[in-house]
Chain A
Amino acid sequence: MARDAGKGEHGSSQRVKLQRELAEACPAFAPNLLYLARFLLLSDEPDAEGQDPFAEIQRLLEQAVQASDRSAPALVELAYFHDSIHNDFKKARGLYEEGAAKALETLEDAWAGLLNSLILEMKLQEALTLAEHAEKVFPDSGRIMGAVHEARQAAVAAGLSPPQTVDS
């Protein structure tokens, strides 16, 4: 059903019907909830829940937040919904903050891993560029700062950086 729901013409009622059925049958499948909510915001489909054109979308987004264990994409989508649709930037703010914090956790993980990979592959110029970004965003992260230091040491050893600039 998921594959079928992803097919078809943009804006087609059939697609929305399948996605709604999927949301009903698999309410824990957050990607479908998120996709359907976004899709409905830009479609002429009538709301499944009556007069309020946005009630179903809000419910889908709240479900997506819950089903995804408050993942960054779901939190940020719900934040944008409150911000731009309900004009409730105060409610949106907490969700933006939580979404950003979740996304940063992932970014820290990804950059620490990526830095180590680049060093191992001797892609030191790329490692140095990333190290510069990573150091600014995560100055207090032990894993990031360890990898940053390692990247700079490796660049010095490879003759890419002069030793005196290593700690500058």
Chain B
Amino acid sequence: MRWRMLLIGMLSMHSHGCSHGDGRTNPDAVYEDGIRTKGGSASVRIWVLIGKGQFAEAQVLIAESTAGGLIGRETAQKMLERISVLSTKLGEVHAKLQRVRDFPSQLKDFTCFESRKMLEAGDYSLATEAQLRRAVKIIEQQDRLMDKL
């Protein structure tokens, strides 16, 4: 997951540069998001961009919002991780996961986001609906496992 490391690295550099580190407020506090409406709307905008696949714009907004204290670092990290998952190609998942039965290898060069888009559009020219769902599931399973290890 070089993507993820790179994105998180970029975020760390950005926010370290702007942090004054007095620990006065913790934007990652569990209840903070519900109270801070500004942070809430920044967060919604970023998730919308991610949902549309506009990852570059989302990354800029994540960095700016983190630096400005509108979203917490944990939230920012979750967003970057989601971008990383959606950008992962099926052929990039661990070799072990490519050994599952009925692995949809024709989707190897497609990212999780692209498979999702095909599902949403009902485009089954490359793969059946079941194969597209399987591709998304395998990529997401890898990400979930990496979170646990």
Contacts and interface: CB of A to CB of B under 8 A. Distances in A.
A154 to B, nearest CB: 15
Interface residue tally on B, bucketed by range: 20 to 34
A44 B99 CA distance: 11
A54 B102 CA distance: 14
B35 A42 contact: no
A91 to B, nearest CB: 14
A53 B99 contact: yes
A41 B142 CA distance: 9
Interface of B is mostly: helix
Interface of A is mostly: helix
Contacts of A44: 95-96
Interface of B: 29-31, 34-35, 94-97, 99-102, 134, 137-138, 140-142, 144-146, 148-149
A53 B99 CA distance: 8
Interface of A: 10, 35, 38-44, 53-54, 80, 83-87, 125-126, 129-130, 132
B101 A41 contact: no
Given A85-B100, A129-B34, A35 B134 contact: no
Contact of B35 (A38, A40, A83, A129): A129
Nearest to A73: B148
9 contacts: A35-B149, A42-B146, A54-B99, A80-B141, A84-B138, A84-B140, A85-B97, A86-B100, A130-B30
Contacts of B94: 41-43
Contacts of B101: 86-87
B35 A41 contact: no
